[in-house]
Structure 1
Amino acid sequence: MRHFVFALLLLLSPPLLAAERLDATPRIAVMSAFAPEWQLLKSATTEQKSHSVNGIDFVTGRLAGRNVVLFLSGISMVNATMSTQIALDRFDVTGIVFSGIAGGVDPALNVGDVVVANQWSQYLEATFARDLGNGKWSVPPWQTATLPNYGMIFPGPVEVRRAGSATPEKRMWFEVDADMLKAAGRMGDVALQDCVAPGRCLGRKPRMIVGGNGVSGQAFVDNAAFREYVFATFKAQLLDMESAAVAMVAYANGTPFIAFRSLSDLAGGEHGGNEMATFMGLASANAALVVQRFLQAWTPPR
């Protein structure tokens, strides 16, 4: 009888409806984490129309000759995950492009450089291991350490479900879209900003680097030792607080994704204090400039 009642309730329940599309035009989603990044791109966008979902402002329009929807991811992994999925549910998204700042990890890179990583991982998708003393740690017996640890932190893969797959899979890395990466590689030299004010310039001209690894996590990193660990363990060029989350959502939905991150600081590698407050504007402008050039170079799949 209980099973019959449950089945009857299912039959009488209204069908689950997809989220209402706010716009029918196929668009490239252009995301930023910080307001300064968002304002730069928004100021260059024409034919603007605003929408709001769960307190997130989405602006549709034309940017660099493409139909786009602009929005802020919010800072950190959970915010980026939520806002990305809302955009995919409410708009016809043909690809996701992230424009933002980051902390440099690779010692060969400098503030102002723009990195276009070819894959992203999460350095805090991890087990905090049991302390055995004398510098020894123990992960639970059902887990296997796949990468070198940083003290008690043992990073590992994340489980993800994907459209069209009946079973979840574990992944350490999420690759950006191959065609997007090729388009970025065809862009050639971009004249990036190198001064925050007259007489206050970087020691050398910033450059764009296509390829390499990026990592993301919930922590703002300003620690030289951890920076060195991330570079050695993940062979990473940079770290931030959103890109890997967006890459994972894009993978789960089968949506092309790429991120352009300009270095605002060196994640603890500076000789003095952290320089993000000084160079955030310059880095934001460089990322936004490269994204607009990319939009001209890449043709969405539909």
Structure 2
Amino acid sequence: MRLRLTLLALCAALAGPARAADDPTPRTAVVSAFAPEIAALDAAMTGKHRVSISGTTFTTGVLEGKPVVLFLSGVSMVNAAMNTQRALDRFHVSRIVFSGIAGGVDPSLDVGDVVVPDQWGEYLESVMAREDSPGHFASTYRDPIVGANFGMIFPKVIEVTGPGGKLEQRTWFPADPALVALARRIAPAAVLKRCSAAGQCLKAPPKVVVGGNGVSGQSFVDNAAFRAWAFATFQARVLDMETAAVGQVAYANGVPFVGFRSLSDLAGGDPGRNQAGVFFQLASDNSAAVVRAFVAALP
């Protein structure tokens, strides 16, 4: 009997944290990159239960009447991909919703606006090309190049295994059309902050913009020339460091996905210094407000 109990305990230890079969409730995964982005969402949840998986805390509970699993992806592409896959492996995830801040690329947008793109690309998946004459760069890499280069940086397609197990080359990972349509429906009623807790106010009332392109990469961008290139080359409205990685994982697993990003700065187009240090919490709260309305409207 003692041997049997020992073996059972050993099996339980090897099995690790609870997997999806142990939490059969279908849940919306709500993801943010770092703590300020998730604070308002966590505060609005009820019935919270927290579990740590390899150092990342996943919180199950109810948000706006819907069962969710809330977690931080961590900053940057690898962290975002890794922890999104962990959530899909451990929980019964019906859809993925990202909420956070970003740099604004589209000149028609401003700090505080919330953007919900139709698709996301990994714009820094690239070739660092040789300079074959002063100021002239050329790529000889085998994969197709996407759009114009920025100096030595030549963006290229991404190789990914799709949901059917077939290797594909892709530039964009689509947000789920039905989820984007729902975001468009709830957008007009969204209540967004215009002033920070310290009393610093945006020059115009923020708005929700649905559609267009978003891009993600491993770098924080605060460069006007690079911002202009990202807009011209990808017609990007926003850029960040995680969402496209989450979109790629969602695509590979066949799980519906949508990303909400509120602008904390203009990625180098700010009038004067970068504004992220002033408005990151306001932007985080604006994204969370739209996501809460979105989750409330889910079927």
CA offset digits 1:154-197 (Å, max 9, x no partner)? 001101102323x2000000110011011011112312000014
Q: Could you say if the C-alpha distance between residues 247 and 141 of structure 1 is closer, same or farther in structure 2, counting changes exceeding 3 Å?
A: closer
Structure 2: distance between partners of 1:202 and 1:90 = 41
Residue 264 of structure 1 aligns to a residue whose secondary structure is strand
Q: Does 1:296 align with 2:296?
A: yes
Letter in 2 for 1:49: H
Q: What's 1:101 paired with?
A: 101
Distance 2:255 2:32 in 1: 17
Aligned in 2, Cα 1:243/1:141: closer, same or farther, shift over 3 Å?
closer
Q: Distance in 2 between matches of 1:131 and 1:231?
A: 24
Q: Which amino acid aligns with 2:96?
A: I
Q: Does 1:73 align with 2:73?
A: yes
Q: What is the one-letter code of the residue matched to 2:232? A: A
Matched, 1:177 2:176: yes
Aligned to 1:168: 167
Q: Is the 8 A contact 1:189 1:208 kept in 2?
A: no
Match for 1:74: what amino acid?
G
Give the 3 Å change call, closer, same or farther, for CA 143–259 of structure 1 in structure 2: closer
| Equivalent residue number for residue 10 of structure 2 | none
For 2:297, the aligned partner's letter is: A
After TM superposition, the structure 1 stretch with the greater mean CA deviation from structure 2, 139-148 or 189-198, is: 139-148
Which amino acid counterpart does residue 294 of structure 2 have in structure 1?
F
Partner of 2:28: 28
SS for the counterpart of 2:203 is coil
CA deviation digits over 1:245-299, x for unaligned, max 9?
0000000000000010000000011121111010011000000000000012222
Residue of structure 2 in register with 1:247 after alignment: 247
Amino acid at match of 1:243: T
Q: CA 1:193–1:141 in structure 2 vs 1: closer, same or farther (change >3 Å)?
A: closer
> Which residue is equivalent to 1:13?
none
Q: Which residue identity lines up with residue 179 of structure 1 in the other structure?
A: A
Per-residue CA distance 1:19-72 (angstroms, 9 max, x = gap)? 833522110000001101112100000000011101000000000110000000
Give the 3-state SS of the residue equivalent to 1:179 in structure 2: helix
Q: Give 1:35's aligned amino acid.
A: A
Distance 1:33 1:27 in 2: 19
Query: Contact 2:143–2:156 (CA<8 Å) still a contact in 1?
Result: no
TM-score scaled to structure 2, two decimals?
Answer: 0.91
List gaps (5 residues or longer) in structure 1: 1-16
- How many Å separate the matches in 2 of 1:198 and 1:163? 47
Q: Counterpart of 1:200 in 2: which secondary structure?
A: coil
d(CA) in 2 for partners of 1:141 and 1:31? 35
Confirm whether residue 51 of structure 1 aligns to residue 51 of structure 2. yes
| CA separation of 1:200 and 1:213: change in aligned 2, threshold 3 A | same
Q: Which residue of 2 aligns with 1:89?
A: 89
Aligned partners of 2:144, 2:92: CA distance in 1, in Å?
40
Could you say if the C-alpha distance between residues 276 and 25 of structure 1 is closer, same or farther in structure 2, counting changes exceeding 3 Å?
A: same
Q: Given that residues 112 and 262 in structure 2 are in contact (C-alpha distance below 8 angstroms), is that contact kept between their aligned partners in structure 1?
A: yes
The number of residues matched between the two structures is 282
1:197-225 Cα offsets, whole Å, 9 max, x none, are 46521111000000010000000000010
Query: In the alignment, what sits opposite 2:159?
Result: 159
Counterpart Cα distance in 1 of 2:158 and 2:228:
23
Identity, % of aligned positions: 54
* Amino acid corresponding to residue 170 of structure 2 in structure 1: R
Q: Distance between the aligned counterparts of 2:48 and 2:168, measured in 1?
A: 39
Partner of 2:282: 282
Structure 1 residues 116-149: Cα deviation after superposition (integer angstroms, max 9, x where no partner) = 0000001110001111113222212534433100
Alpha-carbon contact 2:101-2:261 (below 8 Å) kept: yes
Write the letter of the residue equivalent to 1:80: A
Does 148-157 or 135-144 show the bigger shift?
Answer: 135-144
Do the aligned partners of 2:127 and 2:141 also contact (CA within 8 Å) in 1?
no
**So what's the TM-score if we normalise by structure 1?**
0.90
